Structure formats: structure tokens, C-alpha cells
Amino acid sequence: MRKKIVAGNWKMNMDYNEGLSLFSEVINMVKDEVTGQQQAVVCSPFIHLHSLAQMAKGYGKIAIGAQNAHQAESGAYTGEISAKMINSVGATYVILGHSERRQYFGENNALLAKKTDTVLANGLRPIFCIGETLDERNAEKHFDIIKSQLAEGVFHLDEAHFSQLVIAYEPVWAIGTGVTATSAQAQEIHAFIRQEIAAKYNDTVAGHTTILYGGSCNPKNAPELFAQPDIDGGLIGGASLKSRDFVDIVKVFN
């Protein structure tokens, strides 16, 4: 049985104290209300990581993640944060390839392949994001885009390394727009992603890969989305900034 995961991506929100207070609410609710085997992951800005990891100690149901990491191990890259640093403060996940990183910071599949290697080499699990823009969907190129993002971003990995990945399908047109992919649209792509993984590796690896949906996911639409056979949870943006909403989404798997 593959792992069910609900990951919150705070993006560039929450100052230090706001983040601690939000996280403290999340921990308390998760502790009291989450009864299933699902994993909650909170991906905060770098400044919170150490404190959140300390606060989460002893609560196996909550893990901490970063939102990016540099591809180099270390060196003269002013302003950047390495995977080793992220690991050293107790985070265990790193979001890679988010469409905002691709769009605003020019991250392409080749760069993301390097970042994936470095993150894995430092014992962290990438949450690797893929997804098409509205223009690409309207031009019916969405399957090709997904195929090439997987092929160029992560299919160079051997089976053992690939098995550490979480994949997140986030149609760019659904991110922060209030427009969610229908459960049928999301399931279609998730099934396609799983097929691609099976074709590259094998059915066992495909069957064990957690594939998250992201894009305007909220407590109302999450139950239907997460009921789809190939959707194993969500990558949650806006709704992860409200403890009640985030934990209600986590609780869909109770």
C-alpha cells in the first residue's frame, strides 16, 4: 500500500512568529484528530525549518520540508541554501520543480534533474512537481509535457533512488486560481503518470509511488479528489495557511 501524504506549501508567506503559531495549531490538531496512517508534511520558508522540526519531534505524523534547494553541494552561491543544510536542521522533504520556480526562476528539467540528485544524495525526499499550463492544455499538449517533465527531470534515477520520490501533479492553471481540475481530469493525468513510471521502471515501483494533486485544493473538494484511485493526497498552497483547513484536508484519509 502506498503512503498517503498531504503536504502544505506555505510559499513566501508567514513571518517567523506567524509561522510558529500556525504550526503549533497544526500540531495540536493533528495530534488530537488524525487517526489514520497518512503523513502530513509542512513545507515552510527556510527561516522556520529548524524551529518547526524541533516542535515536530516525537510526532511521527508530521514531517517538515523545504520549498527549494540548490543543485551544488556547497560553495560560492551567495543567498542559496544547500540540501545538506536543510537535512541538518531536521527537515526530510524538499519541494522541487514547483511551477513558480519554473516560471519565475527559470528552472528547467535539466536543472531540476541535478537538484533531484543532490537532494537525494543528502538523504532528503523530493516532492517533484510537474504540470501543464493552460495554453499547453488547450493545445492538447498536456500529456507530452508531463511525459517530458518526467523523462528529463527524474527518469535518469535508478529504481532505488526513484522510489524515494513523491510526485505532485499541479496543473498550472489550477494553482491559486480557485479553479480546481475536476477529479476526472486529475485522475486521468495521475493514471498516465503511473503508467509512465511502470513503463520506465516496473509495476511495483509504479504501484508504490505516491502521486499528489495540487491546485486550489480545499476541504470541500479534497474528499472527491482523494477518492480517485491514483490520487494519493495533495500539495496544498493557500489552504495550508489556515490550520483548520489544512488539518481538515489531512483528515480526509482518517
Ligand X SMILES: O=C[C@H](O)COP(=O)(O)O
Cβ at position 200, least distance to ligand X in Å: 25
The catalytic residues are 98, 170
- Dist. CA 176–CA 13, nearest whole Å: 14
79 is an annotated ligand-binding site residue: no
| Nearer to ligand X (CB atom), residue 44 or residue 216 | 216
Contact 212, 168 (CB under 8 A): yes
216 is an annotated ligand-binding site residue: yes
Give the position of cell 533531484. Answer: 116
242 is an annotated ligand-binding site residue: no
Bridge partners of residue 42, in order along the sequence: 8, 64
97 is an annotated ligand-binding site residue: no
Cβ at position 248, least distance to ligand X in Å: 14
Nearest residue to 122 via CA among 156, 88, 165? 88
Cβ at position 59, least distance to ligand X in Å: 22
Read off the amino acid at residue 136. E
| Nearer to ligand X (CB atom), residue 44 or residue 206 | 44
Four-point Cα dihedral 116, 80, 131, 155, nearest 10: -10
| Nearer to ligand X (CB atom), residue 104 or residue 160 | 104
36 is an annotated ligand-binding site residue: no
Residue closest to ligand X when measured from CB atoms: 237
Cβ at position 165, least distance to ligand X in Å: 16
Alpha carbon separation from 57 to 62, 89, 188, 249 (Å, rounded): 9, 12, 37, 22
Q: Return the exposure string of 52-73: e unless at least 16 CB atoms fall within 10 Å of the residue's CB, then b.
A: bbebbeeeebbbbbbbbbbbee
| Nearer to ligand X (CB atom), residue 214 or residue 233 | 214
* Chain contacts with ligand X (rule: CB under 6 A): 9, 98, 170, 175-176, 214-217, 235-239
Phi, psi (rounded to 5 degrees) for 42: -115, 115
Q: Work out the angle at residue 104's Cα, subtended by the Cα atoms of residues 234 and 222, and round it to the nearest 5 degrees.
A: 15
28 is an annotated ligand-binding site residue: no
Cβ at position 75, least distance to ligand X in Å: 28
Cell numbers of 191, please?
493514471
Nearest residue to 249 via CA among 210, 228, 211, 221? 221
| Nearer to ligand X (CB atom), residue 86 or residue 175 | 175
Annotated binding site for substrate: 9-11, 176, 216, 237-238
Residues belonging to the binding site are 9-11, 176, 216, 237-238
